[in-house]
Amino acid sequence: MPIDILSRRKTHFVLWRPGNLQTNPALCIGNIDPNSQDRLAQLQEFPLHQSPDFSDLWEISPQECRLTEGKVYYYWFKVRNSEPYQAANAHQVLYCTDPMATTIDRRVNAPVPPESGGVASFDSASVVLYQNGMLVPCDPQGETVHWDSDTPSDTLPVNNQLVIYELPTRWARIRSNGNIEEGNGTFRDALALLIPEVNSLTFPALRTLNNRAHLVELGINALELLPPEDSDDNLNWGYGTANYFAADFDLGRPDHQSAPTASTDLANLIKVCHQKGLRFFIDVVMAFSRNNPYHNINFLDFYIQWGSGDPEQGSRDGFGGDLFKYNYWVEGYHPITGQKSWYVPAREYLKAQIAHWLEYYQVDGLRLDSVNNIANYDFLQEFKDLARTLWDKRGGKSDRFLVVGEELSVPLALVHQNRLDGLWNEKFKQMIRRVLLGKNAWDEPSFEWTVRKLIDCRNLGFTDGSQAINYLTSHDVGGFGNERLFNYLVNNGVSRTEPRIKLAFACLLTAVGIPMILAGDEFADQQDLDISDEHNSNKQIDPVNYSRLQDDWRQRIFQYVARLVRFRKSSPALAVNDTRFLHVDFSEGKRVLVWQRGNQPDNLVVVVANFSDYGTPPGSEYRVQNWPATPSGKQWKEITQERIVPSDWVGREGIFPWEAKVYTLA
């Protein structure tokens, strides 16, 4: 399904919907050296042409600009400022980043237009390659993306066998003097988690990231990056998206590298993920943006003006950014269809950007941030439906793609009404943390039903496991109760954290739903900064500290989790919804629950979980009632220790405090 504006941009510079037309928009462009002191003197300006068919579409061909074959060009659009907060703004003339630029170079800021009213926008340069008469996305030194050797999508894992790894791009290591060294883990640094021969450029001395393939050893089969789109957030999570069509400048510029290689680095990371059998999810922020070019190009068509009484504002939170308008209808050029029709500019802008990410970066899944602040179910469904249509046209199968929303209240209507494929299941995090303290959830009358809802998300109202993304911790670690799991246990008086962290992972990886692991939780990483204030920016810069993996007890947790991850991916019983609780024991201070996953007698999983201080004396047994029969020729295997269970001890093995045993038929 061709997206009209993306097709047009291959042959023309295109500016859609400039707002203040007191001055006709123009293109400012040049083949410049970013390191040259007089670089901006080499720029030329060309007036854009208004389309004869659409008054809101302005274009110019590269041939009219006399571009040279094989050269990389830096460019901006000249517009009258449309930002509405001060009357004087309407007289300002400035150069803006192309709002659909596929590459941004933050080393070069826009010049000041020479005419009266010219002001500095400080907008970064848009970058493009002129090749074979076409405008081709590229990095600033001309590198381009190629997908010739990409892995076919039908070889990648299906939704109900996923184990997702959520990776923030803020990393650290403990230096020999005990101090913490922090920095960004770039796209190329992430390769050090996948390929043993690739070393981390930012942390070259960090053993965990060199001569290893941490994510391959862990066994996850989906990688989810916090927003990889370009933003001003140099050291934070990147949720203040500025340039939706471009990979993040800073994540494409490792230490000691002059020119950014964001687009090719990200494409290479995705390609390697596919080669290693991993799907690639991106995190997309659509409720608001920060410093997006449309802030100046056409504010009122795309954004809510604070304090104007706009009914779309309501209780939505822009977190210091500009809230998109999702109910403002206009008539004009439709960027998806290329026809004249009625549409909402912000909706079509963000639909066009996800079409670009699906086509250009070959992503396999989407996580939509803060859908409550999008506050428009119709748009969410339009967005999801378009993404799925494009996936289908790409030849992808329905069960190998997901569009998932994040909202901490878990509004199930979004999946029941087919607005989204799934939701982050924040209730799983809340419940697992309570049961690890031996308590039922705040809103549950019993411990037993807390565990039942924890293990089978259908008891919460989901109808299929692919609709729920379960996690022990998410990147949102600010405030009491949200901190990393290790810190949560310590803050609640638990001194021996290892057994309970292992128990938590046994629940996560045998529950109905798609398990997601926050980077570092697999080895009990802990906070390096004070994040007790959930509104403090520390929660966005507290790093993943891979150097802690060297601790013996943390290595034991990592190996335990890796065994369960590998089992989760391969077990048919864990890929279906079927769950049955076989045994519940609350006698004499015990909290022992046993559940069965699967529906085939010769392919079952049984989990014996002890959420209490009770343990059987050495050499004694604990009998589980209703243990399923052992089919002829089969035997039981315990996964966490990778051992065969003697037939005389099936359903009778002793239990330890705060322990889970995971059994399957072999």
Of all residues in the chain, the percent with pLDDT exceeding 70 is 95
How high is the pLDDT of residue 184?
74
Please report the pLDDT score of residue 538 as a whole number.
Answer: 62
pLDDT at 349 over 90: yes
pLDDT of 569 above 70:
yes
List pLDDT tens digits, range 293-315.
999 999 999 999 988 888 899 99
pLDDT (tens digit, 9 = 90+) per residue, 325-339? 999 999 999 999 999
Position 408 scores a pLDDT of 93
> What does the pLDDT read at residue 58?
98
Condensed to tens digits (0 to 9), the pLDDT of residues 11-49 reads 999 999 999 888 899 999 999 998 888 888 889 999 999
> Is residue 554 predicted with pLDDT exceeding 70?
yes
Q: What is the pLDDT of residue 41?
A: 82
pLDDT at 201 over 80: no
Poorest-pLDDT segment among 413-417, 524-528, 608-612: 524-528
Predicted confidence (pLDDT) at residue 486 exceeds the cutoff of 70: yes
What pLDDT score does 206 carry? 67
Phi/psi at 660 (5° precision): -125, 140
Q: What is the pLDDT of residue 309?
A: 85
What pLDDT score was predicted for residue 644?
A: 97
| Helix spans in 129-174 (H) | none
pLDDT at 665 over 90: yes
CA distance 147 to 164: 23
How is residue 663 written in tokens?
């059994």
What's the mean pLDDT when you consider all of the chain? 93
pLDDT of residue 603 exceeding 70, the answer is yes
pLDDT at 198: 81
Residue 629 has phi, psi (to 5 degrees) of: -65, 150
Which residue, 638, 636, 634, 644, is CA-closest to 659?
Answer: 638
- What is the pLDDT, as a whole number, of residue 539? 58
Q: Which amino acid is at 663?
A: Y
The CA distance from 420 to 267, in Å, is 26
For the chain, what percentages of helix, strand and coil (3-state, to nearest 5) are there?
Answer: 30, 25, 50
Q: What is the pLDDT of residue 606?
A: 98
Q: If 0-12 CB within 10 Å is exposed, 13-18 middle and 19+ buried, where does residue 88 land?
A: exposed
Report pLDDT digits (tens) over 103-132: 999 999 999 999 999 999 999 999 999 999
Confidence band for 553, pLDDT divided at 50, 70 and 90: very high
Q: What is the pLDDT of residue 35?
A: 85
* Of the candidates 129, 32, 115, 114, the residue with the CA atom closest to the CA atom of residue 72: 129
pLDDT greater than 90 at residue 210: no
17-26, 128-137, 181-190, 388-397, range with the lowest pLDDT:
181-190
Judged against a pLDDT cut of 80, whether residue 532 lies above it is answered with no
Range with the poorest average pLDDT among 240-244, 478-482, 507-511? 478-482
356 has a pLDDT exceeding 90: yes
What are the backbone angles phi and psi of residue 320, rounded to the nearest 5°?
85, 0
Query: What are the pLDDT digits (tens) for 151-185?
Result: 999 999 999 999 999 998 766 556 656 676 666 77
Q: Return the minimum-mean-pLDDT range out of 113-122, 473-482, 518-527, 615-624.
A: 473-482
208 pLDDT exceeds 70?
no
Predicted local distance difference test score (pLDDT) of residue 205: 61
DSSP string, 377-433: HHHHHHHHHHHHHHHHHTT--GGG-EEEE--TT--THHHHTTSSSEEE-HHHHHHHH
